[in-house]
Amino acid sequence: MESFFTRFKNVLVLVAILLAQTIGLAIQVRRPVESGAPDGEKVLLLRYWMVSMVTPFERLVHGAGWTVRHGWSNYIDLRHTRQENQDLQAQIARLRVEQAAFAEDAMQGRRLQSLLAFKENYVDKTVAAQVIGSSGSELSRVIYIDKGSLDGLKTDQAVITPDGIVGKLRDVFPHTSQVLLISDQTSGAGVLLATTRVRAILRGSTTGRILINNLTPDQRIKPGEQVLTSGGDQVYPRGLPVGTIESVAPDPDHQPYTLIRLRPAVNLDQLAEVLVITGTQTELPPLAQKDLAQGAATAEAKAAAAKELADQQAAEAAANSAAQIVAERLPSLPEAERADGKAAAAPSVDSVTPSTAVPKPELTIHPDRYSPGATLPAAELKPGAAEPNRAGVVPVPSTDAAPPGQTVAPPKPRRPKPAPATASPSNPPPQ
Amino acid sequence: MATHSYTSRRELEEHSFSPLVAVLVPLAAIVLQALLPRPFPRLAILDLSLIVTIFFAVSRRSPAAGALTGAAIGLLQDALTNQPIGVNGMANAVIGYIAASIGIQVDVDSLTTRVLMNFGFFLIDGFLLYLINFRLLGLAGFHLYWAHELIRAAINTVLAVPIFFLLDNAKRRE
């Protein structure tokens, strides 16, 4: 018997080790399997010993790194800080306007929720924590933070960043906590597709990708759709960003379901600081209420300004309309006269423009000897010759040309004619 | 006249380590492995604990000691994860046992042997982890990606060679 143990000592040791660990695994694994469930007391004790042994080193390294980074970023690398500040101020102004746009909808939504006795959970209290380490294994996607039960943390509390959800607390130790990331294969969360309002269950995978694989094919679900928490898991408050759908394909392992891959809203590989949600409430937190009131006030001011502008435009439109009505009712010139007026006005425009043409006198209506063209050119005139009779020219008896012995009757006085309506300067009245 | 004679290759090349080295080196490997992936996420592919397990196993050339060392390092490694404690413990115990058994038979101090040995043990480790997770724990979503396992084995082998030469200096020669 002694020789048997001596001969197979190594194999027996191996079998004993494997057997003991198999029994240990059997004790730890519960049926049905609870995804991301915290450990039992004995297992937790073993983890606590190990975490207590490792985390001081992690804190030391993290503290040294943080001091260097903090010193560099806060005292040395301050380039473009002023520009960033201006950009952030502009962003705040823009967000206030956007907030005003959503404030009324939010208030209306809250009124409707209160009417339906619908209880919403709002994030009330959070604890900021820094990530100090990881599990060091590809198959286990957990991180360690520097806050624990002494800071008010408890298991199953949600861990988030301003960008979206990170995971939940799995094991909490006095000064440290283990966070199970949503990308871990044992992780899960209730989610809601933002556009289609389809509810689903989010799962992690061994490759670290986050997936939805409990939905049947739906034409409405397309890549790019945002995914939010649904609040149904009692861990994550409703409406927090989870990620964006990256691809939709048939699931080869679970037909006829689809395999929806998501791009997480948070970069889970580069986490530095996180927020642990330690308290939720059904009423909006005071700060959020203040923000909402400010948004509502901004919205009211915008609405008043818009109304004033609309009133002003309406008054201007009414004034224009009255002037048009008055103009239509007043007597006006006939169309023909308007056309003549336009024709008469046309030359006046031409007269303004300089012209090189010599102006010609208008034709005389009643020509006389003073009319242009009535007198012969000087080359044709002969001294002493009688004045040629011209058609249309009234002959004037000349006393110089009468024959001797004949008496010349005196000319009858001409009856004056009434002056024409339009007097012509070229035809002056006789004097 | 009493003469000291070696009766086997095992007795000829059996090495021991000081208790400080035997404790601190695995602990340093686990701490480094937990720290490195935070600033460099891609380094999560490294498995320093397994490299250390293989080194101690082949150096001591005792399968029982190799199995115990592997189990201890694996359990500590498991304690930092969210997996049930014992997954890496079982895998490392088997690797430690096999490594020590091989160390008795072949010269594990040559470079070629070390490269082949590490590459093979990392592939075996991937397969053992698949068996434990998929068969023993019943994780249906657990898959074995051979391409990934080959890359993991290659990268860890490249890292294991200089670590082995570094740790050779810690051997206590009697």
Instruction: Return the closest-CA partner of residue A136 out of B55, B52, B22.
Output: B52
Q: Burial code of B118-154, b = ≥16 C-beta within 10 A, e = fewer?
A: bbebbebbbebbbebbeebbebebbeeeeeebeebbe
Taking a contact as any Cβ pair under 8 Å apart, which residues of chain A between 275 and 314 contact chain B? none
Whole-number Å distance between alpha carbons of A315 and A330: 23
Please name the member of A14, A133, A138 whose beta carbon is closest to the beta carbon of B44: A138
Please name the member of B71, B80, B145 whose beta carbon is closest to the beta carbon of A136: B80
For residue B146, what is the domain's CATH number?
Answer: 1.10.1760
Instruction: Return the closest-CA partner of residue B117 out of B31, B58, B38.
Output: B58
Q: What is the pLDDT of residue A351?
A: 45
Please name the member of B38, B41, B90 whose beta carbon is closest to the beta carbon of A133: B38
Name all contacts of A59-63 with Cβ < 8 Å and 24+ positions apart: A59/A132, A59/A146, A61/B35, A62/A130, A62/A132, A62/A133, A62/A146
Percent of chain B, pLDDT > 90? Answer: 45
- The domain in which residue B121 lies consists of 10-167
Q: What is the pLDDT of residue A355?
A: 47
Q: What are phi and psi of B34, to 5 degrees?
A: -80, -25
Taking a contact as any Cβ pair under 8 Å apart, which residues of chain A between 374 and 403 contact chain B? none
The strand ranges marked E within B17-124 are none
If you search the block for the tokens 């005792």, which residue do you land on?
A: B62
Whole-number Å distance between alpha carbons of A370 and A426: 8
Name all contacts of A405-410 with Cβ < 8 Å and 24+ positions apart: none
Q: pLDDT, tens digit, for every residue of A108-135?
A: 777 777 666 666 667 778 899 999 888 8
User: Which of A137, A181, A206 is the best residue to mutate to test the B interface, defined by the most B CB atoms within 10 Å of its own CB?
Assistant: A137
Q: What is the pLDDT of residue A421?
A: 43
Instruction: Return the closest-CA partner of residue B30 out of A48, A206, A147, A50.
Output: A50
B102 interfacial to chain A (CB closer than 8 Å): no
B143, part of any domain: yes
Q: Tell me the chain B residues in contact with residue A270 when contact means C-beta distances shorter than 8 Å.
A: 41
Cβ pair A182, A264 in contact under 8 A: yes
Q: Tell me the chain A residues in contact with residue B144 when contact means C-beta distances shorter than 8 Å.
A: none
B156, part of any domain: yes
Contact A50 B136 (CB under 8 A): no
Contact B35 A43 (CB under 8 A): no
Cβ pair A59, A145 in contact under 8 A: no
Taking a contact as any Cβ pair under 8 Å apart, which residues of chain B between 35 and 54 contact chain A? 35-39, 41, 44-45, 49
Contact B90 A22 (CB under 8 A): yes
The radius of gyration computed from the CA coordinates of chain A, to the nearest angstrom, equals 52
Chain B residue closest in CA terms to A20: B86
Please name the member of B71, B83, B86 whose beta carbon is closest to the beta carbon of A140: B83
A169 interfacial to chain B (CB closer than 8 Å): no
Whole-number Å distance between alpha carbons of A377 and A269: 115
Taking a contact as any Cβ pair under 8 Å apart, which residues of chain B between 121 and 150 contact chain A? 129, 132-133, 136-139, 141-143, 145
Count of the separate structural domains present in chain B: 1
Q: Tell me the chain B residues in contact with residue A185 when contact means C-beta distances shorter than 8 Å.
A: 139, 141-142
B173, part of any domain: no
A146 interfacial to chain B (CB closer than 8 Å): no
Please name the member of B34, B133, B143 whose beta carbon is closest to the beta carbon of A58: B34
Q: Per-residue confidence of chain B (174 residues) as pLDDT tens digits? A: 444 444 555 555 667 788 888 899 999 999 999 888 888 888 889 999 999 999 999 988 888 999 999 999 999 999 888 888 889 999 999 999 999 988 888 877 888 989 999 999 999 999 999 999 888 888 877 888 889 999 999 999 999 999 999 988 887 765
Instruction: Return the closest-CA partner of residue B94 out of B60, B159, B140, B50.
Output: B50
B14, part of any domain: yes
Chain A residue closest in CA terms to B31: A54
Please name the member of B37, B63, B71 whose beta carbon is closest to the beta carbon of A134: B37
B3, part of any domain: no
B1, part of any domain: no
Chain B residue closest in CA terms to A18: B90
Please name the member of A53, A142, A185 whose beta carbon is closest to the beta carbon of B141: A185
- Inter-chain Cβ pairs, chain A and chain B, closer than 8 A: 145
* Residue segments in chain A with a per-residue pLDDT below the cut of 70: 1-2, 30-43, 114-121, 282, 284, 331-362, 384-431
B98, part of any domain: yes
B80 interfacial to chain A (CB closer than 8 Å): yes
Mean pLDDT (chain B, rounded): 86
- Going from the C-alpha of B17 to that of each of A46, B32, B67, B96, B168, the distances in angstroms are 26, 21, 16, 16, 10
B61, part of any domain: yes
Domains delineated in chain A: 33-74+124-280 (2.40.10.340), 85-120 (no CATH)
> For A40, which DSSP code?
-
Residue partners of A145: CB distance under 8 A and separation at least 6: A129, A130, A131, A132, A159, A176, A177, A179, A274, A276
The radius of gyration computed from the CA coordinates of chain B, to the nearest angstrom, equals 17
Nearest Cα of chain A lies from the Cα of B174 at a distance, in angstroms, of 24
A72 interfacial to chain B (CB closer than 8 Å): no
- Going from the C-alpha of A221 to that of each of A203, A225, A242, A252, B117, the distances in angstroms are 18, 7, 16, 18, 49
Report ipTM (2 d.p.).
0.84
Whole-number Å distance between alpha carbons of A148 and A48: 12
Taking a contact as any Cβ pair under 8 Å apart, which residues of chain A between 101 and 140 contact chain B? 131-140
Q: pLDDT, tens digit, for every residue of B81-122?
A: 888 888 999 999 999 999 998 888 887 788 898 999 999 999
Q: Burial code of A206-223, b = ≥16 C-beta within 10 A, e = fewer?
A: bebebbbbebeeeeebee
Contact A54 B31 (CB under 8 A): yes
Nearest Cα of chain B lies from the Cα of A32 at a distance, in angstroms, of 11
Q: What is the pLDDT of residue A81?
A: 85
Instruction: Return the closest-CA partner of residue B21 out of B47, B63, B60.
Output: B60
Whole-number Å distance between alpha carbons of A214 and A225: 17
